[in-house]
Structure formats: C-alpha cells, structure tokens
Amino acid sequence: MPRSSHVRTLARLARMLERGAGELSLPQFRVLAMVDEGGERASHLAERLAVAKPTVTAVVDGLVERGYLSRSADADDRRATRITLTPAGRRALWNAEEAMEQRLEDVLAHADDAGEIAEALADLELALDRMRAERLARR
C-alpha cells in the first residue's frame, strides 16, 4: 500500500473519531488531553501540539468559556498562567474518549486482524513519544 494511502487512511480515521467526540472538536480534545497529561501553560501546550501559541490560546479561551478549563496564577512565575482541567472538563474529555474508543472499536471489528492493528497503534504511540523526547533533548 503506498504511503499516501496510509496518510489518507489516518486522516479518514481522525475525521471519524472527531465526529464521534460529541461536543468537542479534535483540537479541543487534544488540548484537554494535553492539560490532563500535565501541560499546564499555553506555551508548553503549543510546543507539544506543534502549533502557534495564539492558536492554543484561542482554543483554551473557548474551553475556559465553556467551563472545561480554568486559569490561575503560577506560584513560581508571576508572568505565567497555569491551565487546569475543571471537573466538567474532565467529564467532557472522558465522554469524548469513550465515544472515540467506541468508534475505533467499530472500525476494528471490520478489520481482518484487529489485534495486529492494535499492536501497530501501540508501536506508533511509542514512536511518537520517542520523537518528542528526542526533540526536547535537542533543546
């Protein structure tokens, strides 16, 4: 299968998962997930998501308005603001993950070897983590 086909397949899957995320867009989901993993500053989120800080700020602003995130002063750096999940944000993230997981399971139910695909996804996750670690080590 040509590589462009893999990219297109991943794009189709991303669209399918996003449609299953309910009230969250994929960028909103990604920001909530990153905050949940410990990315609490907009600049850190922008770096981890590989987008411009104003882009993350706009998404964060919308999530704050919806009550999914809160901002507070950083005790260690008065110029910085910490971003945290609210209980409503944690529920929205959980609901989106559950719905997206169900969509993925529906797709895998049609696959010839769902176990092999699951293993490949786990390997892809490790590869992404290694790439991020290497990028951070170079800085």
Tens of pLDDT, residue by residue over 33-69, are: 989 987 677 777 777 776 777 778 888 899 999 999 9
CATH code reported for the domain at 3-108: 1.10.10.10
Q: Is 134 in contact with 47 (CB distance < 8 Å)?
A: no
Contacts of residue 96, Cβ cutoff 8 Å, sequence gap at least 6: 21, 22, 23, 24, 29, 32
Average pLDDT over residues 82-95: 93
Per-domain residue ranges of the chain: 3-108
